[in-house]
Structure 1
């Protein structure tokens, strides 16, 4: 007769394997007779999914239902174990029984699809090399089950995936994808062989992420199941759930390409896309009155001092906060493209002064000198409007080249955000500036300069291909990939001829 002291974890694993063999025999011996096969198989799958979710919740919470306890007591009795067990050993046995029931459910789901193929358990504790085809005899209960390994674990594979993507993703993307995949690791188990993951596991993951609380990231100690809620109103948006699932699918596609697995277990899964409701524009161009109000403020016409820029005075501080809005309205470039500019990207003394939007010369991620271009079409050279040169932008650049802090970046005083984005810190400063001058419409952002410039080029009757060339858009046509594209001279003429709602230079001159 076994005693409580003899029940090590290895012995408990062997006992649980014995339990699973009995449950497996029960599932294999079940025959399904359907009057309406498709509908009844669908109903069986639904019930199995619900059973798996329920068992996972019991395991995660450490609270097991009476039916699990009944099976556990039966397994112990069949092996002559009637000693009083410690709380930890009893919980291990209950968890093992719940895992055995989960594996039985997966087997049942597999048999709904295939009655003849051999079934390989997905839970490592029931892997083929660690289980016997016969019930475990009491005298063999304490033999250590042999260990098995089949390729990288889920945790190691995710780590390798993120390491590979760091070469092409910005820091913010790596961080967000890592957080999403952490949920996948928790769901599957970090030490589980990646090759053992099947579509049933990923269906459960898909269903789980759709039940996540809207603020599921709050409470780092919570489990994946603990982050879920039955209240539909408090769940994450369907679009967010879709992003989580797409991240997992991208990971599995990568794993296939690396030869870690033969096929993706998530390839055919999807989340129903939310219906797109028409809403007010998130961004819009500036009107002439709004531009006058902005460029008539103390930031551009004169302030008390560098530290008191919201108070009118005689001091004009020509730094990043002065030049970035002016570059925005005269070039239509994205905020991040301008903030990340290196001194090498500016040719202020060339016959046609330009700035270059490129990732050439980018520093390492986290260095504060990295550069990122949104797309291939985003790589471009933008002629500088004569007004910028007249306002002193060329002098500013030349002075920056001479300064003691003449590092790589033109606007070195604007730090990169913790998310690795060049625009994060400055976007907050610009939002405060808009609020300060009374432009509180949330549809007005720095990107509104971009919309304003596009309209100004259209109003000048510039061809769309010229506009795309200056703004950094691709029209998607094959012809756009041929030749050198619009010449610098034509681009400069277009910049000079665009019809802005007002001339910021004239506003500053009349201030």
Structure 2
């Protein structure tokens, strides 16, 4: 499809019905800039809206060009070493950036968008997964830090932070400062992790403000300061919002930037563009009231097209259109609230957050937010091509003749289903963790290994191998990996850039559920642990034995005495466990 230059702005182009920003790279930085040109969609087919967006996009791209120039200049004169003060300051910047990212996640809400809703980000965690991955991450980093070990993740982070806007330092490749800097970032990561865990417990942990925190918002900042009212009132909301968007767009994905910008524009439409200090709780209530009348995807609803948000809400209410869910209302309130949290750190004139405490109360269920898979969903999973025959290891979602019995894609869900183990616990298993004592085959779940970590001390445990896993050929897989000299039980499951095997696999499992059209907001890999719990209850397994098998901490006096259940007791319970109605005979390995 041909791209056509459009009048009104030198960088405005159209391809089909959609408008684009397109800019050549300035000649002085062409040789080092990572792109041939800055071309991206403005995500609109409306000409007037495209004009507004291209002006803002052009300003942001020009700031990127200026940042790159400063970075290139720094590379021309690399430092031989960093001072202790510089290293401490960089660690403080890193710590603050981690907490800021965590705060943004919590402000938006850790949730799944409704199934089938456009723009669903399937890589988001739910709260349990987020907390679990955080604990795993901190445990792994503490393990390395205590032993003075370094992994590539923090060496890469050290290189990355030097290029941050406001830092822009170059360090000689053979500088002795690389390792102290990476170790300082490790320590900052651990401190930030502790702060995030405190936030998980509901404690208030402010995000620190550090001088020269990466930002390229100097131009919009000056605009905001220039828009002070003559009578001494604070800057207009619209000007401060531009500053916020310009800063955040450096790290946000385009969709995230657009979602937040649109929400702030809608907020201004509802309550007006006033000096920052003129907003109050009544404005927040007015915005919430409008949101609660709007249907989901209201801009695409034919009766509401072309209407401003407040008029669309009135019209939707008149027509009796079903309103969007409480979660979506909260999501949009969270987008706007994030701006006010940021403004409070940057402007003395900022009032208390007018949206604080206004989210819709959503009733929580007694069970954790993840459901177990239904029987039909389990049947669908274990009849997927990756279990019954796929095209290739790469095209594992397409039917074919290859049954990848040597792959973790085949074994990891099955092992979790019959052991109740967490995703990370299964993925990090070594061949030597599968053992045999007193006539019992079992898996020794432990944290012994540089690439291993466990959630808590109670997670260290021995889990007997279920007879069904043996019939499926699990012990044959173990022996094959042993004969090949593999340390890991599932060597084809790669580690992510963050140092965790689960970060890559979780996305693959999500893709599996999506391909089977059974993914919804309440299921994920963690659902298999709930299936295991239900199967234990339905099979008459004692609750305390079930907790021991899953690595749950014991409560009360029983936690103070003894060292747990004997292997024979655990094995009796595992052998009793069954999944009624789930027939896996089609996966049994033929001899």
Give the TM-score taking structure 2 as reference length: 0.43
Give the TM-score taking structure 1 as reference length: 0.49
Report which of the two structures shows the higher radius of gyration computed on alpha carbons: 1
Q: Which has the higher contact order (CA 8 A, sep 6+)?
A: 1
